[in-house]
Structure 1
Amino acid sequence: MAAQTEAAESREAKVMRRLAGALDDYGLSTIGKSVAMAYLRKLPEDDMARVRAWWLRKLNGSDLVPPSNTPARQRGCPELFEGLRAQPVWWRGCEETRSEFPPELAWVADVERNAPAMREELLRLRDQGEEHFQPYRAPSSEQKGGRGATDRGDWNVFYLELHNMDFEAHRERCPVTCGVLERIPQTYGHAFFSSTACNTHITDHNGPTAKKLRCHLPLLCPAEGCRIRVGDEIVRMARDKAIIFDDSFNHEAWNDHASEARIALIFDVWHPDLSAREVKFLSFLQTAAMKRAKRVCEAAGVVGDTFYSVIDQGRRVRPEDARVWGAAAAAAPGDA
């Protein structure tokens, strides 16, 4: 009996050493690693089931291989989670009625209700000097198959939140929008205004993880020509009507209008199937990993294609107003 107990303790010790080793990738401090290990010891509990399956796949070295039941259009996503609903489109605001909101998306009503006020705030950005839109850039879109994020047209963004980067000056100019975002439960810490110029096609791509959903709220939008494909579904875009989708599925978007830009508020929320403890743990790991990446980039003076350097280089570029605002560039605030 003593020998069996010793063997069981030895196996547990080996597992815990492997768990601790896997945490090294996140650059955690000694205290941070202790906190993470405390969470990992709770993995057998029901409300940690999705994280348990994901973490075991990491330990087995199979986390980069999609699970066998992964939909074909989702297989290009590098971080997949078993046990989460794999549903390409969750909400089509221009097609459904207010009474049909799923309970986990009840916050959408507040977002759409505040769209006119957020549009006025967005339009005031046109006349602001130092704080401006920047070209969308990301190492993944720049490197994939030699293609950029678009194969025609222009895509520019105005960040409000992005992985521990300093966009406080942007948020100060958008108090209404930031107030709306603060009321949404379990936001993911990624929010921005996205301008898709006229005659623009954003090429097909998969998001980096399946642990979140993405919301598009068009605030300026042509009556025709704007649509998005998620998986095999195509959804028409309309002003003040939110679209919520799982961007881990392959997706692409178009603005085929001849002169008008489409500008949307885009933000992410944690996948509603994740428990509160899973969100807390995954958020903890993600924050640690991004802080580490930022420290490494700053310490090395990196100027290549890292996440932080690419975003920082983009901040120094101010696109022409017509490429951001289209026909709205010549309109007075509140006209559009």
Structure 2
Amino acid sequence: MAGKSEPVPGERIAIHPRAGTIQLALLAVIAAGLLLAPQFLYPIFLMKLLAFGLFAAAFNLLLGYTGLLSFGHATFFGGAAYFTAHAVKEWGWPPEAGILLGVVGAAVLGLVMGAIAIRRQGIYFAMITLALSQMFFFFCLQAGFTHGEDGIQSVPRGRLFGVFDLSDTMTMYYFVLAVFVLGLLVIWRFVNSPFGMILKSIRENEQRAISLGYSVSRYKLGAFVMSAALAGLAGGVKALIFQFATLTDVTWQMSGEVILMTLLGGIGTLAGPVVGAGVVVTLQNYLATSDFPVTIITGVVFMVCVLVFRRGLIGELLESAFGRRFFAGRRTRE
């Protein structure tokens, strides 16, 4: 068609020079708004939004920037929740040590699962992650330290660094907000590093990356472990927010929810998964006490967004403001 250029040999993609800065500024605006949000909204609701926003951003690191669709990310989120809850309640660890254990545990799980799954591509990769995640679910169902279907309840929040009492709701909120901002900064730095650039090249053309001499499997595994660790960070914080860890955190439905959040907000954007998580968590929160079926309403919203906003809510906003070059770039001669 006239007016549309097709890719030809010898061309490269030129990404918008301010793409990373624009998205970081958008996240800064969101973070600034969250500083004042407890004055108007229930803090527990906001903390849930932050935890799931970080979870979705961690998942997007794998799907949006590496091109790997995982159906098993609930393993890292829920696994870290169990590790953190058990360490804090049963061993008497301080909250920061419990969360660190959750992150390390999620990273180890990611290393094991990733080493198995990255041997395959496409739907086979997704199905392997789902199968391994279901294996971990049944492990959690039978393991003694998880307390089966009862889960780990009445988890104490404790004192952060022995100074800040996290049993105070506002103190806990600003701690969760700090973790959320730190997690997004880590993702932003990771994506805009040379490692992140290589991941994007693998996503766009894996065979070309191999021909350039990159060990694609190692880069994929590195991204998988990083995504798992950050999902574990979200899961550990979630265990302290609600003071329990249950089987709900490791079900395949949880993996489906984080995929939904990422798609709603926009794959391959920093702020998109956070916004998508906000939409899903808000629907769950305000429809829970109504007669409307939450899953059906969420499904309708997802269907509308897929049909109308093909790049997600934030994706369409950024494309309308800065054009396709913001994502895929305009093609220029080498």
> Normalized against structure 2, the TM-score is what?
0.24
TM-score relative to the length of structure 1: 0.24
Which protein has greater RCO, CA pairs closer than 8 Å, 6+ apart?
A: 2
Larger radius of gyration: 1
